[in-house]
Amino acid sequence: MWMETESKAEGVRRGRASVALRALNGLRLCTGDMEVMDTYMQDRFYVVQLVMWGLRGVSRVILANNPLSGALIMAALCWESCWKALLGALGLLASTLTAVVMGQDSGEVSGGFHGFNGMLVSLLMGQLSSAGDWYWWLLLPACMGSASSVFLYSALSSVFKRWDLPVSVFPFNTVIMLYLLCTGPDNPYFPHHTAMPPGAPEPNGTKLIAIEVIRGIPLGVGQIYTCGALGPSLLILAAVLLYSPLLTVHALLGSAVGTLAGLSVAVNHHFLYSGLSGFNGSLGCMAVGGLFFTFSWRIHLLSIASAFLSAYADIALGNLLGTVGLPASSWASTLLSTLMLLLTGSLATYRIPTGQVMAPEHNLCSHSQWEAGNPAATDIQL
Amino acid sequence: MWMETESKAEGVRRGRASVALRALNGLRLCTGDMEVMDTYMQDRFYVVQLVMWGLRGVSRVILANNPLSGALIMAALCWESCWKALLGALGLLASTLTAVVMGQDSGEVSGGFHGFNGMLVSLLMGQLSSAGDWYWWLLLPACMGSASSVFLYSALSSVFKRWDLPVSVFPFNTVIMLYLLCTGPDNPYFPHHTAMPPGAPEPNGTKLIAIEVIRGIPLGVGQIYTCGALGPSLLILAAVLLYSPLLTVHALLGSAVGTLAGLSVAVNHHFLYSGLSGFNGSLGCMAVGGLFFTFSWRIHLLSIASAFLSAYADIALGNLLGTVGLPASSWASTLLSTLMLLLTGSLATYRIPTGQVMAPEHNLCSHSQWEAGNPAATDIQL
Amino acid sequence: MWMETESKAEGVRRGRASVALRALNGLRLCTGDMEVMDTYMQDRFYVVQLVMWGLRGVSRVILANNPLSGALIMAALCWESCWKALLGALGLLASTLTAVVMGQDSGEVSGGFHGFNGMLVSLLMGQLSSAGDWYWWLLLPACMGSASSVFLYSALSSVFKRWDLPVSVFPFNTVIMLYLLCTGPDNPYFPHHTAMPPGAPEPNGTKLIAIEVIRGIPLGVGQIYTCGALGPSLLILAAVLLYSPLLTVHALLGSAVGTLAGLSVAVNHHFLYSGLSGFNGSLGCMAVGGLFFTFSWRIHLLSIASAFLSAYADIALGNLLGTVGLPASSWASTLLSTLMLLLTGSLATYRIPTGQVMAPEHNLCSHSQWEAGNPAATDIQL
């Protein structure tokens, strides 16, 4: 009887352990780059593959590469506004299909590299349009702009590969700027809001509300997808957490640094409350802290420096472009990340070649394996 | 008698055939790149050679390379205004001689590569000057500006040759922008008109006149040489036709696409009527459709895409530069053509190396010969 | 007795000759690049070495490389204003230490390459600040800006080394522009003056004073260090003279050319009197005339052309950036010098590889030795 009970308890324990193990295994499969998905997808229908490429593209915007993260982010966009989610999906589809038709490298297409620029172009067009939601004519420039970003991506990659640099969101930034310049604020077909420079003066007597500033930090991560509400922003953070905890920490850290930078030069309060002050810092911090460099304490400090520089550069560019009514979008973080990747000296030894960039945890793991296994590898070679 | 008549008729027919053959041969010698001219010119007087280099330079502006086309275009400029033709000729001479003095590559000098940027600089200075025609002081900056373009051409070619890109009209665009910025609109010595941005609002109640818009399409080709009259524009089109019919078709197609793009974002009517909306589209379409790429249906579609992108980028840059009173000149088409030449993927296989670019018909012919002869060539190599 | 007198006179003569020889030897050691100093410094205290690197950095701003010149220039800055000298020294220290911490190439650090950009950033921040001298809060952005310039220097060198180009003062120009844009004119913490464009209209009835214009020529050299007084400017010129007489001649020549260019497009009188019209021409002339090219009459003419182009480009950029209240700082001369170094054709044969650039007199000497010794060298090789 006792033995029976024992064996039952044993069985329950074993069962629990096995469930925990399965859950852990499942989680392991769902986190990081989900490379297993690529193998699984190889012989599926084209449409299913296209959805998978699209979802990877969605997550690429925030430097992740995980279809589940992408699905979560699409859910966050739907939560914020279905019109926005529709525009994003259309941009993804338009740019991915353009890349297929143009005969771009299939690895890039399936990795979602062409999709994410197109998605951002469409999202920003919707965000900045002053014609309101569900203005169907906007789908036309959204499609065309997204498709144009593929041309830019392809051409810039020719130039950038000489220095092993990623093209990043340069195409998005260029296309959205040209679109806004092309239509102008009072266009009869495609009107849009003019951007307020971050240095715009405050009405007298307004005081800074600390809680709103702190609320701006998670909003800064949401602003990467033009999300201005707290709920969707947190869901986007959860999506990044699924890909990599280290990246999430840097996303929040960068956003906080950006807010600090904004405070130090007394930017407009709206800029702090809405999270616009944080999102460039966030992107700058994520790119350096773990993604393109193997994580270490030196790189952690570099990522903070990168966040500060991105944030200040964003304020500067925002003031400059604001004189002609344009937003600075993510020029600052894109330029600063590129700059950091070009650094010479002893910091360059931490750099991970662009082709081998994966989730920070994976990078860290393979780096320590490589360091540990180096003598063995040498032995084998001998 | 009958036989005699027959033999006479035969003789006449033979004579006619021989005349036709000679005419055809003559025509063949006059069209395309006229390489035979280079051999013929080798031991002539220096001044005659200089004229030949200049005429090649004139045609280079519109992407042709034919001294007869150049002569026709100079005639068109004279027809429009003799002062303009004088300025153009002076710019050609100043830049070509500067290139000779600076010891630039003789192949580039004799191909007219240095002349065409200088010519454009001078032409635009005359066009934008508000001091009226025959303002002799203008010859001073025209000479200096044209000479400066050679420095830029030489330096940029060092950078661009890494990607096998042509320098194109980057020097012209830079020099004319700096000149306009340097003198400013109210300069006591060299005043000039401020440019109207394409998005400038229309006075109320003006309706679009369809016939004027259609008239703007051939004018768009003329605007490449700052020609705003229909007659000279048609003569310039004829000059292009002499070089290559395929290029002419793309010139008109691109201009039409540019006008369409202008209509789609509701630009100022003057911009459509004067052909200013068409000329960047025209240049963008010509560069891709046949010149730098071997012609095929895919490339034809790419050339239309290039025309659209050039036209939209021109409107965008026009609005941006218009805020400081500058014209967008041909920045858009120059940037877009360069972008198209950098494209990766399967479209890049159609690309013709910069050193081997000739008339589209010649490219097409040599490509099919090469394709047909490829197995044979392989045999020989084996 | 006579012999005694004679031998005494002989002794005196010998003594004098020996003094003269020693003085000459001492002078030879103090002029040029003072390479002997590097050997002498190798085993000194770190702080002494740091001071030496800093002084080399100070002289690098004006394209010299001599610690004594650096010391003289620091004295000139102190003469002008001690606050300015303090800011300059702080900038030097902040950027040099940042470079050390970031593990930059030690040869670059000890050559003062990182220091001179940081020094210029700090100096300009002080010059443009409207909060008055001894505003201690300014030290914070001065330190941060100077440190940022190291990131830019390091990253740009990755790009520029492909064409064997020096990074020059691109980092300074970028950082100071971003700082000014970031803070804006009415910032509550860091206010600054808005720059007046050179084309700003003159009040009616003001006549040009010739003597003031001529006084602006040496002031143009002082303006490289933001010095607006004649005494310190002459001391700076003396510092350059210590490094190289040829460079001094080109500095004054370039400043004169710049003033001439300013007169030719009727710039604001203040721009001529203060030396602001001359300093870009001066830098452009110095870079080409002797430093990066082996001196010859052709290069002398090129240096004059470079001075003219730099001066005109400076006026153009000043007018452009003046529309948003920014100064053109030394963008023009930096861009033009880079352009000149990229020139192709027969002028490129005079180019000295960046790594071998030394004082013009040394370049000239080693070039003639090399030319004379070339056959011998060939013999040895055989």
The string of pLDDT tens digits covering residues A322-380 is 999 999 999 999 999 999 999 998 888 899 988 888 888 887 777 776 666 554 433 33
Chain mean position to CA C209: 28
Subunit partners of chain B (3 or more CB pairs within 8 A): A, C
Q: Are the Cβ atoms of A151 and B266 closer than 8 angstroms?
A: no
CA-based nearest residue to B359, from B112, B25, B60, B118: B60
In this structure, is residue A266 part of a structural domain? yes
Residue linked to tokens 């003639």: C368
* Cα-based angle B81, B84, B88 (whole degrees, multiple of 5): 145
In this structure, is residue B319 part of a structural domain? yes
Q: What is the pLDDT of residues C85-103, one digit of tens each?
A: 999 999 999 999 999 999 9
Chain C window 174-213: which residues touch A at a Cβ cutoff of 8 Å? 177-179, 181-184, 186-190
Same domain, A211 and A134: no
Residue linked to tokens 């690049």: C33
B148 touches chain C (CB under 8 A): yes
Report, in angstroms and rounded to the nearest whole number, the Rg of chain C calculated over CA atoms. Answer: 22
Q: Which residues in B lie closer than 8 A to residue C316 (C-beta atoms)? A: 177-179, 181-182
CB A347 within 8 A of CB A302: yes
Chain B window 336-355: which residues touch A at a Cβ cutoff of 8 Å? 339-340, 342-347
Nearest chain A Cα distance for residue B254, angstroms: 17
Give whichever of A347-351, B306-310, C46-50, C192-196 has the largest mean pLDDT.
B306-310
Q: Where does a domain end: C145, C163, C193?
A: C193
Q: Read off the CATH number of the domain in which C276 is found.
A: 1.10.3430.10
Q: Which residues in C lie closer than 8 A to residue A335 (C-beta atoms)? A: none
Same domain, B182 and B297: no
Cα distances (angstroms) measured from residue C92 to each of A200, A354, C121, C161: 33, 34, 9, 24
Q: Are the Cβ atoms of B266 and A187 closer than 8 angstroms?
A: yes
B158, B178, B181: residue with CB nearest C344: B158
Nearest chain B Cα distance for residue C349, angstroms: 11
- Please tell me the distance from the alpha carbon of residue C282 to that of residue C285, in angstroms, as a whole number: 5
pLDDT of B373 reads 56
> Integer distance in angstroms from the first to the last C-alpha of chain A?
62
B315 touches chain A (CB under 8 A): yes
Element of type H or E holding B321: helix B297-322
Residues in chain A: 382
**Band of the pLDDT at B380, cuts 50, 70, 90?**
very low
Q: Which residues in B lie closer than 8 A to residue A171 (C-beta atoms)? A: none
Q: Which residues in A lie closer than 8 A to residue B343 (C-beta atoms)? A: 102, 151, 154-155, 158
In this structure, is residue B255 part of a structural domain? yes
Q: Does the pLDDT at position C380 exceed 90?
A: no
pLDDT of C175 reads 96
Nearest chain C Cα distance for residue B126, angstroms: 17
Q: What is the pLDDT of residues A80-114, one digit of tens each?
A: 999 999 999 999 999 999 999 999 988 889 888 99
CA-based nearest residue to B254, from B203, B312, B209, B316: B312
Residue of A nearest to B346 (CA): A103
Same domain, B180 and B210: no
CB B309 within 8 A of CB A148: yes
pLDDT of C375 reads 45
Say what percent of chain C tops pLDDT 90. 62
Same domain, C89 and C219: no
Q: Which residues in B lie closer than 8 A to residue A324 (C-beta atoms)? A: 320, 323
Q: Which residues in B lie closer than 8 A to residue C257 (C-beta atoms)? A: none
Same domain, B20 and B158: yes
Element of type H or E holding A151: helix A139-160
Q: Are the Cβ atoms of A265 and C324 closer than 8 angstroms?
A: no
Same domain, A162 and A277: no
Same domain, C179 and C294: no
pLDDT of A377 reads 39
**Band of the pLDDT at C382, cuts 50, 70, 90?**
very low
Q: Are the Cβ atoms of A104 and B163 closer than 8 angstroms?
A: no
CB pairs A-C closer than 8 Å = 71
Q: What is the mean pLDDT of residues C295-301?
A: 92
Chain A window 41-100: which residues touch C at a Cβ cutoff of 8 Å? none
Nearest chain B Cα distance for residue C24, angstroms: 40
In this structure, is residue A57 part of a structural domain? yes
The interface pTM score, or ipTM, of the predicted complex is: 0.89
B316 touches chain A (CB under 8 A): yes
pLDDT of A60 reads 92
Nearest chain A Cα distance for residue B350, angstroms: 12
For residue A115, give its domain range.
15-193
In this structure, is residue B274 part of a structural domain? yes
Residues in chain B: 382
In this structure, is residue A20 part of a structural domain? yes
Interface test with A, best of C137, C149, C181 (most A CBs within 10 A): C181
Subunit partners of chain C (3 or more CB pairs within 8 A): A, B
Q: Which residues in A lie closer than 8 A to residue C157 (C-beta atoms)? A: 344
Cα distances (angstroms) measured from residue C91 to each of A301, C121, C309, C331: 21, 7, 30, 20
Q: What is the pLDDT of residues B166-213, one digit of tens each?
A: 999 999 999 999 999 998 888 888 999 888 899 888 777 678 899 999
For chain C, what is the domain count? 2
A103, A154, A324: residue with CB nearest B320: A324
Same domain, C315 and C329: yes
Q: What is the pLDDT of residues C51-89, one digit of tens each?
A: 999 999 999 999 999 999 999 999 999 999 999 999 999
Average of per-residue pLDDT values in chain B: 88
Nearest chain C Cα distance for residue A315, angstroms: 5
Contacts of A88 (CB under 8 A, 6+ apart): A58, A74, A77, A119, A122, A123, A225
Residue B100, token pair as written in the block: 């000779």
B152 touches chain C (CB under 8 A): yes
Q: What is the pLDDT of residues C19-40, one digit of tens each?
A: 888 888 877 778 888 877 777 7
In this structure, is residue B232 part of a structural domain? yes
Contacts of C212 (CB under 8 A, 6+ apart): C269, C272, C273
Q: Is A237 helix (H, G, I), strand (E, B) or coil?
A: helix
Same domain, B351 and B233: yes
C105, C156, C183: residue with CB nearest A265: C183
**Structure-derived torsion over alpha carbons of residues C332, C333, C335, C340, reported in degrees to the nearest 10:** 140
Q: Are the Cβ atoms of A315 and C179 closer than 8 angstroms?
A: no
CB B218 within 8 A of CB B230: yes
Same domain, A151 and A244: no
Q: What is the pLDDT of residues B303-340, one digit of tens each?
A: 999 999 999 999 999 999 999 999 999 999 999 999 99
Q: Where does a domain end: C147, C165, C193?
A: C193
Average of per-residue pLDDT values in chain C: 88
Q: Which residues in B lie closer than 8 A to residue C339 (C-beta atoms)? A: 151-152, 155
Q: Where does a domain end: C159, C193, C227?
A: C193
Q: Are the Cβ atoms of C155 and A305 closer than 8 angstroms?
A: no
In this structure, is residue C5 part of a structural domain? no
* Cα-based angle C221, C224, C225 (whole degrees, multiple of 5): 115
Same domain, A151 and A208: no
Q: Are the Cβ atoms of A339 and C152 closer than 8 angstroms?
A: yes
Interface test with B, best of C320, C335, C341 (most B CBs within 10 A): C320
Q: Which residues in A lie closer than 8 A to residue C105 (C-beta atoms)? A: 344-345
CB A340 within 8 A of CB A179: no
CA-based nearest residue to B347, from A228, C61, A380, A155: A155
Q: Does the pLDDT at position C6 exceed 90?
A: no
Backbone angles phi, psi at A166, to 5 degrees: -75, 150
Half-sphere exposure of B341 toward its Cβ, with a 13 Å CA cutoff? 25
C163, C323, C339: residue with CB nearest B324: C323
Residue of B nearest to C342 (CA): B155
Q: What is the pLDDT of residues A129-165, one digit of tens each?
A: 998 888 999 999 999 999 999 999 999 999 999 999 9
Q: Are the Cβ atoms of A320 and C181 closer than 8 angstroms?
A: yes
Q: What is the pLDDT of residues A244-265, one digit of tens each?
A: 999 999 999 999 999 999 999 9
Same domain, B339 and B288: yes
DSSP state of A189: S
Q: What is the mean pLDDT of residues B74-84?
A: 94
CB C98 within 8 A of CB A309: no
C263 touches chain A (CB under 8 A): no
Say how many C-beta atoms besides its own lie within 10 A of residue B362's C-beta: 16
